[in-house]
């Protein structure tokens, strides 16, 4: 695997940014993809998307319309970015010295997809312990209220894990979580293509439908967890994922090999 530094922009954090993340439960990083990185990532992600997905279909579930998993198996730029890009350094600051990559997917809300995605914590879709897993979103398009940008409730991570009934079967069938929350403190997260934000596994967020006529809202979704993180919904077995920094107490994590990109 070659690492092309012209594709990504490193983002060393200031102390103020680290404090802000701890207080607010999220942090906007600014630009992390160069123009070349953005172009290549879009091309490769769209090739994978078009091979599997059609237009938005209101009869289909959110999963079917909006999600394509394990995208690092299909795009070598995503693979480099996920395992060796600037987000790994950021994760080290918020997760610690031992880190594994636990999710890579496209979460696209293409034009016409007017389905909202309700309030939730990412740890609601598969609780990982310890509770410091980091979600990262990298925008492949400009995102705002019109095309279904993310909304976040700053500081909401401080309330901890909210227990919801959401089984593996619910997830597989595309049933989404819709928490009832006081959304008066919520803020829209505007992003420019090539920018990223990161947030805590307990931070409440949602998105509305894409109401625009001609703008897609494409996002690359990557998560990083402590190398010892276990799936509490699965007998506290370790979550498998490529070890990126440090080591794990679980041999199966230390030796875990992800499928390489087969594009
Ligand atoms: O795609 C969206 O708009 C929401 C995605 C999201 O919140 C998630 O996958 O956790």
Q: Confidence class of residue 209 from pLDDT cuts 50, 70 and 90?
A: very high
Q: Looking at ligand 1, which residue's alpha carbon is closest to its atom 9?
A: 107
Q: What pLDDT score does 122 carry? A: 94
For the cut 80, the answer to whether the pLDDT of residue 155 exceeds it is yes
The region of weakest confidence among 2-6, 46-50, 96-100, 211-215 is 2-6
Q: What pLDDT score does 173 carry? A: 67
Q: Please, what's the b/e burial string for 62-87 (b: 16 or more CB within 10 A of its CB; e: otherwise)?
A: beebbbbeebbbbbbbbbbbbbbbbb
Which architecture does CATH list for 15-254? Sandwich (2.60)
Domain ranges (residues) in the chain: 15-254
- Which uninterrupted H or E stretch holds 52? helix 35-52
Q: Looking at ligand 1, which residue's alpha carbon is closest to its atom 7?
A: 206
pLDDT tens digits, one per residue of 69-105: 999 999 999 999 999 999 999 999 999 999 999 999 9
Is the distance from CB of 208 to CB of 148 less than 8 angstroms? Answer: yes
Per the listing, tokens 């909401």 go with 156
For the cut 90, the answer to whether the pLDDT of residue 55 exceeds it is no
Among 25, 117, 190, residue to substitute to test ligand 1 (most atoms within 8 Å of Cβ): 117
Q: What pLDDT score does 2 carry? A: 40
Cα separation, 222 vs 52, in Å, equals 20
Among 53, 62, 121, 205, residue to substitute to test ligand 1 (most atoms within 8 Å of Cβ): 205
Q: Is the pTM of this model over 0.75?
A: yes
User: Residues with Cβ within 6 A of ligand 1?
Assistant: 66, 107, 109, 117, 122, 148, 205, 207, 221
pLDDT tens digits, one per residue of 23-46: 999 999 999 999 999 999 999 999
* % of the chain with per-residue pLDDT over 70: 93
CA 148 to ligand 1: nearest atom: 3
Mean pLDDT for all residues in the chain: 92
Q: Confidence class of residue 54 from pLDDT cuts 50, 70 and 90?
A: confident
3-state secondary structure 135-169: EEEEECCCECCCCCCEEECCCHHHHCCCCCCCCHH
Q: How many other CB atoms are there within 10 angstroms of residue 223's CB atom? A: 24
């Amino acid at each position: 695997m070659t690492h092309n530094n012209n594709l990504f922009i490193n983002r060393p954090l200031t102390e103020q940014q680290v404090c802000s993340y701890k207080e607010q439960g999220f942090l906007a990083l600014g630009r992390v993809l160069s123009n070349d990185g953005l172009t290549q990532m879009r091309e490769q992600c769209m090739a994978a998307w078009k091979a599997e997905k059609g237009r938005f279909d209101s009869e289909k579930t959110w999963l079917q319309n909006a999600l394509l998993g394990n995208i690092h198996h299909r795009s070598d730029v995503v693979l480099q970015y996920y395992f060796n890009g600037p987000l790994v350094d950021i994760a080290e600051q918020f997760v610690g010295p031992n880190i594994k990559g636990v999710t890579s997917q496209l979460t696209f809300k293409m034009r016409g997809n007017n389905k909202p995605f309700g309030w939730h914590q990412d740890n609601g879709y598969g609780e990982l312990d310890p509770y410091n897993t980091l979600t990262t979103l990298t925008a492949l398009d400009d995102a705002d209220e019109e095309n279904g940008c993310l909304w976040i409730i700053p500081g909401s991570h401080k309330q901890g894990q909210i227990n919801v009934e959401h089984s593996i079967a619910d997830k597989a069938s595309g049933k989404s979580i819709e928490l009832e929350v006081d959304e008066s403190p919520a803020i829209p997260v505007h992003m420019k293509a090539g920018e990223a934000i990161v947030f805590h596994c307990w931070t409440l967020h949602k998105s509305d439908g894409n109401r625009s006529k001609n703008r897609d809202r494409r996002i690359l979704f990557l998560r990083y967890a402590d190398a010892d993180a276990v799936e509490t919904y699965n007998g506290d077995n370790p979550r498998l994922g490529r070890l990126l920094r440090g080591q794990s107490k679980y041999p199966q994590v230390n030796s875990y090999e992800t499928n390489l990109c087969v594009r």
